[in-house]
Each structure stands twice: as structure tokens, then as C-alpha cells.
Amino acid sequence: MEKKNIDWGNLGFGYVRTDVRYVSNYTNGAWDEGVLTEDSNIVLNECAGVLQYAQTVFEGLKAYTTEDGHIVTFRPDLNAERMMASAARLEMPVFPKERFLDAVTKTVAANAAYVPPYGSGATLYLRPYMFGVNPVIGVKPANDYQFRLFCTPVGPYFKGGVKPLTIRVSDFDRAAPHGTGHIKAGLNYAMSLHAIVSAHNEGYDENMYLDPGTRTKVEETGGANFLFVTRDNKVVTPKSDSILPSITRRSLLHVAKEYLGLEVEEREVLLSEVSDFAECGLCGTAAVISPVGKIVDHGREICLPSGMTEMGPVTKKLYDTLTGIQMGRIEAPKGWLHVIE
């Protein structure tokens, strides 16, 4: 199969229309069987639940070309499960796991020409999502829904690839106590738009959000979980009910323990202890692991000893091992790679 003529090495993290997407509709209490379509537009009623009350959830995962030429996705079963949890929290019907995996397989296979070649530095980002479609004017869940899955080839999420980032402690929260921070709903991202625009305007790459209850503990950024490394090489990640349970973070903890023999800790992380860490990274599907070099807390600069030019040594080992697994260079734990073709 001939690949599309795309400058893979210079892709940013943006939308490129691909040939085919998957659509399934939920009406009268049941999902239809789903189809692949070339139509990338959606026609909606003006009063659709998603437009009025933001009833929508989504996922993000990637397809990779492995060293030996297969196309694989990484732990899509966990995306399916997380989407089910997100939907349940917003009173939406769940899209069954087997259907989700089938939609991933069909959409990636149909767009194989857009899966970036091995070694190009790019990947195919998959965006499954679902939303309420019928008219809703009183505040209540919709009755009818649509599930869709499209894909787009992407490069690094942060400009500059793996150059260390400068982030700031945000005065805004992205989640409420007992709210929806732990699910992947569009509303959480709408909440973060003002904060990210103002962070960018002030020269920062991202926001560090604190726990919304006490504003003393580290939560996450707008699109990734935190990972810290102590001066004695222990990997620490924040534990909180209001952060998204990142699949990358869960995978990295396993990699740290089982592949690199490192001690790992998932626990509350106080903002006041961040200056004690040796390394900091942002982890997520889009971010992979993006190193953080500096954290600015209202004028106080916390400079990570790993510096502003390279990833810290432990972060680099984690990055190399995780991407090695995803690209088939390092043997994956059983069930982590879902082979498309």
C-alpha cells in the first residue's frame, strides 16, 4: 500500500483530513451497526444536546508503524474502558468495548496510507468521541447519540519536540472537587482554554493545575499527567480523584518498575516539594513524555536540575523504553499492542 505524499517529519499536532471515519448512531435505546464514511461533516439540529449543554466525551490514542512494518495501536482496550466511564458520568449510553475496538481497527485499516512510516517521528492520532444529538432545551441528557472516530497524522504536541518546557502554576482550576476532572469530557477542556491562552500570551508552554480543594497539591496540566523523578531515582506521580487516569502514566509506572527496576510511587504531591525533584515530565498520548525544565510559581522559579536543554536521564530512559515498546523495538507486555495489519 502506497503512503500518502505527506512531509511526515514536519507535521505538527494538527488536523489533516483523512479518507475515512467511522460513525454509529444510538436511537431508540440501541446502537446501530456502524459504518465507515468519507463524509467528514456532521449536520445537527440547532438544539442538539451537545450544542446546548456540552454533552460530549472523547478519547485519544495513536496508531504506529512498528520496526517490522506492522500497524499497531497501544492499549486501545483502556481507551474503550475510560470512554465507557466518561459516558456513564455524563448520563450517556456506553459504546461497548468490542465495538470501540472494531471501530479502531476498521478506521485505521481504511486509512493505512496515512499511518506515518516507521522512524518518521510522526504517528496517526485517533480521536473517538460521542455526543448528544437530539433537541434538548430543559437541562437533561439527550436520548439519541452519535459515536464517531476519525484519525489524523500528527507530529509532536509541543513545538520543539523534546526540548524542555517552561510551565506556570495556574490561578485557574481545570476541575472542581467531586466534579468531572477524572473523565475525558470536552467541558473540562473548554474550562482550560482561557488559562492556556493566557499562559501562552505570557510565554509559558502549559499550566500546572493545583488541586481545586486546597490549592496546595499538584494535579496535572491541560492535556497530560505529571511524572517526577526524585534525586535518588524514584518515579513519583500525583494521585488525585480529579485528574484524568492517563494510560501513558499507568504504562510508564509499569515500565519504570518492570523494565527499568525503579521504585515508583503514586501519591499526593505537594507544590512545596516540587523544588526537591530532579526531573519532571508531562505524560500523555499526545505529549508522550515532554520534559519540563522550569516551573514558575508566581514569580518564584523552580529550575529542575535536568536543565533546559535535554531530558533528564531517567525521563529519557522511560521515553526510550515506552516508545521502543510502541514501535516494536522492545517486547511489549502481553496485550499492550493491538495489531491492525
How far is residue 187's CA from residue 156's CA, in Å, rounded to a whole number?
Answer: 24
DSSP letter at 137?
-
Binding ligand COI by CB under 6 A: which of 55, 111, 285, 306? 285
DSSP secondary structure code for residue 160 in this structure: T
Helix (H) or strand (E) holding 337: strand 337-339
Q: What residues does 280 pair with on adjacent strands? A: 228, 292
Which among ligand PLP, ligand COI, none contacts residue 55 (Cβ within 5 to 8 A by kind)?
A: none
Binding partner of residue 220 among ligand PLP, ligand COI, none, CB under 5 to 8 Å per kind? ligand PLP
Binding mask 37-76 for ligand COI (x = CB under 6 A): -----------------------x----------------
Least separation in angstroms between residue 280's CB and ligand COI is 18
Whole-angstrom distance, CA of residue 156 vs CA of residue 144: 36
Which of 153, 212, 284, 291 is close enough to bind ligand COI by CB under 6 A? 284
**Which among ligand COI, ligand PLP, none contacts residue 141 (Cβ within 5 to 8 A by kind)?**
none
Report which residue's Cβ sits closest to ligand PLP: 284
C-beta nearest to ligand COI: residue? 60
State the binding partner of 246 from ligand PLP, ligand COI, none, CB within 5 to 8 A by kind. ligand PLP
The catalytically annotated residue of 62, 140, 163, 184 is: 184
**In the annotation, is 184 catalytic?**
yes
Biggest CA–CA distance in the chain, Å, is 58
Contacts of 37 (CB under 8 A, 6+ apart): 20, 21, 22, 23
Distance of alpha carbon 118 from alpha carbon 328, whole angstroms: 10
8 Å CB contact between 296 and 166: yes
Residue 70 beta carbon to ligand COI: minimum distance, rounded to whole angstroms = 22
Residue 223 binds ligand COI, judged by CB under 6 A: yes
Could you say which of 18, 285, 290, 321 contacts ligand PLP (CB under 6 A)?
285
Question: How many other C-beta atoms lie within 10 A of the C-beta of residue 193?
Answer: 10
Nearest to 142 by CA among 221, 6, 229, 51: 51
List strand residue ranges (DSSP E) for 47-177, in order: 56-58, 61-65, 71-74, 123-132, 145-154, 165-169
Residue 321 binding partner per list ligand COI, ligand PLP, none, with a CB distance cut-off of 5 to 8 Å that depends on partner kind = none
CA nearest to 183, candidates 55, 273, 307, 7: 55
Footprint (CB under 6 A) of ligand PLP, residues 230-259: 244, 246-249
Whichever of 126 and 302 has its CB closer to ligand COI, that residue is 126
* Cβ closest to ligand PLP, residue 20 vs residue 63: 63
Judged by the rule CB under 6 A, the positions of this chain that interact with ligand PLP are 60, 220, 223-225, 244, 246-249, 284-285
Active site residues: 184
